Structure 1
Amino acid sequence: MKQEFPVIETNRLILREVTKEDAHDMFLYLSDKDVVKPMGLEPFQTVEDVWDEIKWYKSIYEEGTGIRWGITLKDSGKVIGSCGFLNMIPKHYRAEIGYELSREYWGRGIASEVLEAVVHYGYKHFQLERIEALIELSNIQSQKLVEKNGFTREGLLRHYEFACGKFEDLYMYSIIKEDLKLI
């Protein structure tokens, strides 16, 4: 029997599974080059591109290699971004965390609220020991976000990924359970 997709609630937000009905909301931010560039993606061109993204979210959850929550506003239910784990390796109790947020909501503390909730969920429900964040050198805001939330920069991964036609260097950040005194 398939497990029900978990829902996380914070003060202002509900993190839930996205559906095809959310595609138009998601297209608004996934078509913004400043939102998707740090993800190593080109701006989405059509709502159908978003459907493929939603299918990918569903596939990583079903395969057990990740989970991606849609970030929704409590008052409207509008999807304004996503956050979740990928490359989950249960044998090693680790996963990568990723996120994006509509530009309209930058600078309001939403990403921090989401990151804290998802990190805590990962430790409690997936028994993670280590959560990694891979961040482009030019993405200063994301670096500040993870540092504010207890992550430590461990080093530079040279030419770690090939995205948007070129090799990208990434900073490796991590947080381990003991950093948050969650043991």
Structure 2
Amino acid sequence: MESTMNAFPVLETERLILRKVMKTDAASMLTYLSDKDVMEYYGLEPFKTEEEALSEVAWYDEIFTEGTGIRWGITLKGLDKVIGTCGFLNMVKQHSRSQIGYELDKQYWGKGIAREAMEAVLRYGFYEMKLHRIEALIEPPNTASIKLVERNGFMREGLLRDYEFNGKTFDDLYMYSLLRRDYKGELS
């Protein structure tokens, strides 16, 4: 895996442009990051201020600079407004693995946008970043996320008991993985 990428890669799909998230995107991000439904399984409380969204943008910059992740802003072609993000975090270069994370503004749920974004990110991860393993950690009640990763070929490996503290209680998480040899995406 390349350790530090120079320029932030832009990914394009049929309907989407996945690009670097900028400070100017904080207001549109706050729209969905403050929604309790969007944040239900995010591991954080709903955001209340634009400053919290700016901290999220700063974290995206930090993981990219450090080479521990990359998070793309999801925008619709012709509408340069971030409606969600998708990308990698907790990258372990030595083992060519990373976790995938994502969220999407509720008004765009059920339209195949998350799947389209994830497909582009997976393709980039396996073919450009040379990842061998991509993991997804999902709370068992998050059926929409479970369906999304399973449609993309991820396999459930097990249950991580009381794995994550959400600020109030500990949550169980399913561990899903997709290996490069099992990936069915097209070569780019």
- TM-score normalised by length of structure 2: 0.94
CA RMSD of aligned residues (A): 1.4
Please tell me whether the aligned partners of residues 156 and 174 of structure 2 are also in contact (alpha carbons under 8 angstroms): yes
Please report how far the alpha carbon of residue 2 of structure 1 lies from its aligned counterpart in structure 2 after TM superposition. 6.7
Return closer, same or farther for 1:62/1:138 CA change in 2, 3 Å cut-off.
Answer: same
2:80 match: secondary structure = coil
Amino acid at match of 2:11: I
Task: State the alpha-carbon separation in 2 of the partners of residues 2 and 125 from structure 1.
Answer: 11
Identity between Structure 1 and Structure 2 (%)? 60
Residue 160 of structure 1 aligns with which residue?
A: 163
Task: State the alpha-carbon separation in 1 of the partners of residues 167 and 142 from structure 2.
Answer: 15
Match 1:127 to one of 120, 127, 130:
130
Amino acid at match of 2:129: F
Task: State the alpha-carbon separation in 2 of the partners of residues 181 and 55 from structure 1.
Answer: 33
Task: State the alpha-carbon separation in 1 of the partners of residues 175 and 118 from structure 2.
Answer: 16
Q: Is 1:8 paired with 2:11?
A: yes
Amino acid at match of 1:96: Q
* Structure having greater relative contact order (Cα 8 Å, sep ≥ 6): 2
Please report how far the alpha carbon of residue 164 of structure 1 lies from its aligned counterpart in structure 2 after TM superposition. 2.7
Alignment of 1:7-86 (within 5 A): 7-86=10-89
Residue 111 of structure 1 aligns with which residue?
A: 114
Task: State the alpha-carbon separation in 1 of the partners of residues 67 and 137 from structure 2.
Answer: 20
2:79 match: secondary structure = coil
- TM-score normalised by length of structure 1: 0.97
Q: Which runs of 5+ in 1 are unaligned?
A: none
Please tell me whether the aligned partners of residues 140 and 174 of structure 2 are also in contact (alpha carbons under 8 angstroms): yes
Residue 145 of structure 2 aligns with which residue?
A: 142
Please tell me whether the aligned partners of residues 133 and 177 of structure 2 are also in contact (alpha carbons under 8 angstroms): yes
2:171 match: secondary structure = strand
Superimposed CA distance per residue, residues 19-55 of structure 1 (whole angstroms, 9 cap, x where no aligned partner) = 1111111010000011112110100001111000000
Q: Which runs of 5+ in 2 are unaligned?
A: none
Residue 100 of structure 2 aligns with which residue?
A: 97
Amino acid at match of 1:50: A
Superimposed CA distance per residue, residues 41-84 of structure 1 (whole angstroms, 9 cap, x where no aligned partner) = 10000111100000000000000000100001111111100000
Q: Which runs of 4+ in 1 moved over 4 A?
A: none
Please report how far the alpha carbon of residue 181 of structure 1 lies from its aligned counterpart in structure 2 after TM superposition. 4.9
2:48 match: secondary structure = coil
Task: State the alpha-carbon separation in 2 of the partners of residues 143 and 47 from structure 1.
Answer: 30
Q: How many correspondences in the alignment?
A: 183
